[in-house]
């Protein structure tokens, strides 16, 4: 029996590779021109094709940007899961979540803006329906599950798994808020006077102290 891939399989592979090329080109355009300067003409020029070729793979500019955003969200969520896997306690897991997510985007503010602050301004309801929502939902477990399980285990049952997951979610939204402020002021060429290290250290300290105080009350 021949092991040669079928025509349909080869076509699917070429299609996936072409889409990946456009997404890589979109990354390059965002890094050079930011969200406001992003155009499909620039993306097409990076791969040596005309803009019309992109519509064979993506229905709109927003669809290209969604793929970039999803890739960044997946990268950062997986980094958090990997970092949390290396620690044992719940409080260390929360610190790993905070530090890893912050450093995943602190040097990539333009990509943070695309994936966190600019994306909701698109036709968000349409983009978050169907297959796209199915692709995003697993990221929640990568971000929260490991920390929640460790917090729950540390509490010996006094902190429910749902409450532990909520604490992990609040930690996540806190670091997203810090990155959002960083992105806001840097886009106005008015960077924060506080160093990145000092800001994330303070945020980590707040959560560590809060968890420690909560444990003392039990």
Enter the tokens of residue 25: 């080109």
Task: Tell me which residue has tokens 């540390």.
Answer: 154
pTM for the predicted model, two decimal places: 0.84
Enter the tokens of residue 129: 């329906």
Burial 118-144 (b: 16+ CB within 10 A, else e): bbeebeeeebeeeeeeeebeebeebbb
pLDDT tens-digit profile, the chain (218 residues): 445 555 455 555 676 677 888 999 998 998 888 878 889 999 999 989 889 999 988 988 888 888 888 899 999 999 999 999 999 999 999 999 999 999 999 988 888 888 887 665 566 556 666 788 888 899 999 999 999 999 999 999 899 999 999 999 999 999 999 999 998 888 777 778 889 999 999 999 999 999 988 766 65
Q: Alpha-carbon distance 144 to 135, whole Å?
A: 16
- Categorise residue 157: left if φ over 0, alpha if ψ from -120 to 50, beta otherwise: left
The upper half-sphere exposure of residue 144, i.e. CA atoms within 13 Å in the direction of its Cβ, equals 18
């Amino acid at each position: 029996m021949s092991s040669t891939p079928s025509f349909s399989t080869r076509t699917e592979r070429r299609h996936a590779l072409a889409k990946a090329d456009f997404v890589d080109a979109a990354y390059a355009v965002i890094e050079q021109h930011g969200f406001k300067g992003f155009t499909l003409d620039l993306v097409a020029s990076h791969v040596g094709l005309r803009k019309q070729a992109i519509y064979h793979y993506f229905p709109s500019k927003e669809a290209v940007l969604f793929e970039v955003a999803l890739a960044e969200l997946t990268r950062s969520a997986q980094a958090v899961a990997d970092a949390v896997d290396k620690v044992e306690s719940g409080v260390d897991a929360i610190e790993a979540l905070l530090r890893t997510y912050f450093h995943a985007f602190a040097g990539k503010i333009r990509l943070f803006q695309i994936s966190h602050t600019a994306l909701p301004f698109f036709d968000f309801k349409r983009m978050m329906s169907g297959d796209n929502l199915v692709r995003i939902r697993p990221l929640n477990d990568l971000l929260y599950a490991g920390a929640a399980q460790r917090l729950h285990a540390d509490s010996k049952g006094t902190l429910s798994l749902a409450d532990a997951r909520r604490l992990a979610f609040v930690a996540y939204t806190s670091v997203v808020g810090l990155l959002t402020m960083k992105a806001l002021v840097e886009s106005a060429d008015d960077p924060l006077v506080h160093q990145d290290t000092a800001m994330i250290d303070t945020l980590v300290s707040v959560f560590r102290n809060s968890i420690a105080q909560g444990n003392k009350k039990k």
